[in-house]
Amino acid sequence: MSLPPTRRLLAAATAAAALVLSIPACTTAPAPDSAPTTGNSNTLPSAHVHGLSVNTETDQVLLATHEGLFDVTRKPAVKIGPTNDLMGFTPAKEQGVFYASGHPGKDSSLPEPMGLIKTSDGGKTWEQLSRQGESDFHALTTTRSGIVAFDGVLRTSADGRTWKTATVDFTPAVLAGNPLSDTVLATTRGGVQRSTDGGITWALQSAAPVIQFAAFANEVEAVGVEPDGAIQYSADGGVTWAARGQLEGQVMAIAATSGSEGKPWIWAATSEGLLVSTDGGTTFRPSDAV
């Protein structure tokens, strides 16, 4: 897989497997440490993908799943680190640094729920940061100012250890941010909510379509997927949107990276496998990452 050389930064989006903009239920006991294999070369290593990350520096594509973290750049996909149910998953600005939340695996010593955990070695090992036994952050993202997360309450944190509560009247299915910006999008039943101060204050984008999944390709370009799979593109950080193409199958998570002008690359983990668009969402094809 060859990525465009422009805007070499870590850009990713994570998303819970929400259906019609609802926070999903989940079990607390992930399946055994194994990845299903079939004759389909594009088969995902798990039927439950909660997050997707694409690293433009290394070309690595990661899937955060019910059975743990998988590097799908490898063939076959290789599981990284322990088997935990990573319901929330998001990259930091630094290489190899990710935050996650969810439920411990059957052989894990982590508390239930896991609270916020962090890896600095690409997912091989994890440290407990905060809210262990208290929070299962299904929606989770990073910004220039810190972390924005939702566990039934919308919370912000500058360091992942101490938290402030944001007063909002919506439930986000997905939180989408970028480590180089303080703009955050929250997809909700009532439409797209937007924050420009790292998740502290929010405003409904009344002109925006109802979007289920969202991701930033860089500081300003964003992409979204409507509940029926229709693709939307924004060149101004989620203020205005333009329709693009269509995704088939059930979408579970998306990620985006910078491409040519107005045409970010978009990855989507779906029931049809891992798909990629190199023309800003107009067309999709099976990704060669799996």
pLDDT at 21: 59
Question: In this predicted model, what pLDDT tens digit does every residue of 213-233 receive, in sequence order?
Answer: 999 999 999 999 999 999 999
User: What does the block give as tokens for 44?
Assistant: 């995902």
Calpha distance 138→175 (Å, rounded): 9
Question: In this predicted model, what pLDDT tens digit does every residue of 81-98 receive, in sequence order?
Answer: 999 999 999 999 999 999
Percentage above 70 pLDDT, the chain: 85
pLDDT at 41: 52
**Residue 226 neighbours by CB under 8 Å, 6+ apart:** 209, 210, 211, 212, 232
Residue 130 has pLDDT above 80, yes or no: yes
178, 11 contact by CB (below 8 A): yes
221, 232 contact by CB (below 8 A): no
More confident residue, 4 or 53: 53
User: 210 in helix, strand or coil?
Assistant: coil
Which domains occur in the chain, in start order? 10-26+47-286 (2.130.10.10)
Quick count: other Cβ atoms within 10 Å of Cβ 34? 11
CA 69 to mean position of chain CA atoms: 13
pLDDT at 225: 98
Is residue 157 within a helix (H) or strand (E), and if so which, with residue range?
strand 154-157
Residue 49 has pLDDT above 80, yes or no: yes
Residue 270 has pLDDT above 60, yes or no: yes
